[in-house]
Amino acid sequence: MTTTRLTRYDRSMLRLMNDRDPHREALHATAGRRRLAVAAHAALTLAIVALFAHFFLSRAEAVWAAVVAAALTLPWMMAQGMINRATRGLLELRERALDERQLAERNRVLARAHRITTGLLAVAAIGLLVTAGADGDVLRNYAVSALATVLVAHFVMPSWLAGLTAQDEPTEEEAPAL
């Protein structure tokens, strides 16, 4: 940790992210369970983005899509919380609450996520330009949706990567002797 003093908020968030409650701990104790949480979060994110795209692009009355998307927000937040707890708050805690190893891991995750979302943005731009050559209405109809989707991916990609790359906690047999 840095020499900056932790605020009451920092201490409470650090305590929350490092809570060793065995019931909650079991939800993300293994790599498979963390992958499942990331997959659920990705599926919920995709569903919410698709529902909002349908709501805004549909010529028919599609209020149901916005209502379903709003209803999916609670499970989405729960999956995000599971990822945050699995990573011990790697992306949620302030820098002053992280040690050097965690700061290095955070920087690796953010750099990798940036590279992936840059690639997604390039694919979206190229895809829109190629399809616009065939149909001039593509840019007008789908550019905002494609860019909004890439923006959402840019927002959640660090969490997904952190959840996928988080290491298992050492068991008592594996714990280093002090």
| pLDDT tens track for 56-98 | 888 788 889 989 999 999 999 999 999 998 888 888 888 888 8
CB atoms within 10 A of CB 163: 29
Which residues neighbour 28 within 8 Å (Cβ) at sequence distance 6 or greater? 34, 37, 82, 83, 85, 86, 166
The yes-or-no verdict on residue 108 having pLDDT over 70 is yes
What own/partner pairs with CB < 8 Å and gap ≥ 24 does 132-140 have? none
pLDDT given at position 145 = 83
pLDDT digit string (tens) for 117-134?
999 999 998 988 888 877
Question: Which pair of tokens denotes residue 145?
Answer: 């949706």
The yes-or-no verdict on residue 137 having pLDDT over 50 is yes
Q: pLDDT confidence of 1, banded at 50, 70, 90? A: very low
pLDDT given at position 99 = 86
pLDDT given at position 79 = 94
End-to-end distance of the chain based on CA atoms, in angstroms? 20
pLDDT given at position 35 = 93
The yes-or-no verdict on residue 103 having pLDDT over 80 is yes
Specify the pTM.
Answer: 0.80
pLDDT given at position 160 = 95
**What mean pLDDT value characterizes the chain?**
84
